[in-house]
Structure 1
Amino acid sequence: MGKGLFDLEKHFAFYGAYHSNPVNVIFHMIFVWPIFYTSLVLFQFTPTLVRLPFSGEDGLPLNFAFVFATIYALFYVLMDRKAGALAALLCFLCWLGSVSLATRLGFSLGWKVVLAAQLFCWAGQFIGHGMFEKRAPALLDNLSQALLMAPFFVLLEALEKLFNYEPYPGFHANVSKKIEADRMEWQASKQKKVY
């Protein structure tokens, strides 16, 4: 139950207030991690900062893709040890996969594959918001929080649905109250704009 930057309830409630429609939630579960993964593929084409010598022929490149994955992984672990550890593992698996894919594709084909995947996944998310949620995406109100929280949010959502996971007792009840208050405030502001 951290405060400020690592206040999981606050982040989860912010993101959840924009994702209450079940179809939109499914769209995000499908598209968020591929956006993260393909971003890492693109970052694989940044300069290598260090090479791990024990990892094969030329060594495993530690570049901005690695930095990006590490920042996300650390952020998630600091927010919740159990789910965060799983999210961190997924971040590093995405990073390893991105090394492999970027190496196979090369830059000239890689950026085209990334662009196509990103356009497809972002379009799916905007369709989820426009057609089903009927609310603009969270990233329009807080870009950094929405982009940083999205992968962890959909993972927590899946863990809750599949395993009834709660970071601590009362977490989902507290978050639900905050989401409901935010949605009521949003509805009220929407009504004011109509009149």
Structure 2
Amino acid sequence: MLNLEKQYLFYRNYHKNPVNQLLHIYSIPLLVITISIWGSYSGSILDTEWFFLPSEFNITAILCCLYSIYYIILNPWLGLLMTLILWTIQVFSFLAYKAFPNIWILAVIIHIKSWVIQLLGHSIFEKNKPAFLTGFVQSFLMAPLFVLMEVCFAFGFFNGLKSRIEQKAN
């Protein structure tokens, strides 16, 4: 679970089709955002008046901490980048929750549609089952990082990591 290349290759094994990858690049961030919005409804778990962000330390913040620690252990640079992304989502989700108290309804609709998009991607384009049916925890831990890595690789970042992964894949 703590080897980035192995975790990435496990997840990529279920996401080789370029169309399915694009569908995941679109839908996984939406899943992260909708879960973050729902977590805002949990209320503050800790007193955060001392904190400088316009947010609460809620369930989403706990998830951000856990995911951030895991990603930083896997790869410090990718982990820090993902930490920045996750905490940005957490803050804006909280602000959306405060501004639009019924945003959870929209989040439910988007969440369901995002799952449908992913499942159709596996069924139509990938022609295989989703990764979470084989490795539930691995899939939910790796999906957001996989998307970030695919986007970074597409723009020419982390080429050394990409080369190491490609060598291990062959």
TM-score by length of 2: 0.92
**Which residue, out of 156, 165, 169, partners 1:163?**
156
Question: Which whole-Å CA distance do the structure 2 matches of 1:81 and 1:170 have between them?
Answer: 18
Deviation at 1:175, TM superposition (A): 3.9
- Cα RMSD (Å) of the superposition? 1.7
TM-score by length of 1: 0.81
Structure 2: unaligned runs, 5 residues or longer: none
Instruction: Tell me how many residue pairs correspond in the alignment.
Output: 169
Question: Which whole-Å CA distance do the structure 2 matches of 1:6 and 1:166 have between them?
Answer: 20
Instruction: Name segments (4+ residues, structure 1) moved above 2 Å.
Output: 166-170, 172-177
Q: Say if 2:55 and 2:95, in contact at 8 Å, map to a contact too.
A: no
Report the CA distance shift for 1:31/1:83 in structure 2 as closer, same or farther (over 3 A).
same
Max radius of gyration: which structure? Answer: 1
Structure 1: unaligned runs, 5 residues or longer: 178-195
Deviation at 1:164, TM superposition (A): 4.5
The correspondence of residues 139-154 of structure 1 with structure 2, limited to 5 A, is: 139-154=132-147
Counterpart amino acid of residue 136 in structure 2: L
Deviation at 1:169, TM superposition (A): 7.4
The correspondence of residues 78-97 of structure 1 with structure 2, limited to 5 A, is: 78-97=73-92
Counterpart amino acid of residue 34 in structure 1: L
The correspondence of residues 14-33 of structure 1 with structure 2, limited to 5 A, is: 14-33=10-29
Deviation at 1:111, TM superposition (A): 2.4
Q: Say if 2:44 and 2:58, in contact at 8 Å, map to a contact too.
A: yes
**Which residue, out of 39, 59, 66, partners 1:43?**
39
- Corresponding position of 1:99: 94
- Report sequence identity in percent: 24
Question: Which whole-Å CA distance do the structure 1 matches of 2:139 and 2:158 have between them?
Answer: 22
Check if 1:172 corresponds to 2:168: no
Counterpart amino acid of residue 150 in structure 1: A
- Corresponding position of 1:119: 112
**Which residue, out of 37, 59, 63, partners 1:64?**
59
Counterpart amino acid of residue 29 in structure 2: W
Counterpart amino acid of residue 112 in structure 2: L
Q: Say if 1:44 and 1:64, in contact at 8 Å, map to a contact too.
A: yes
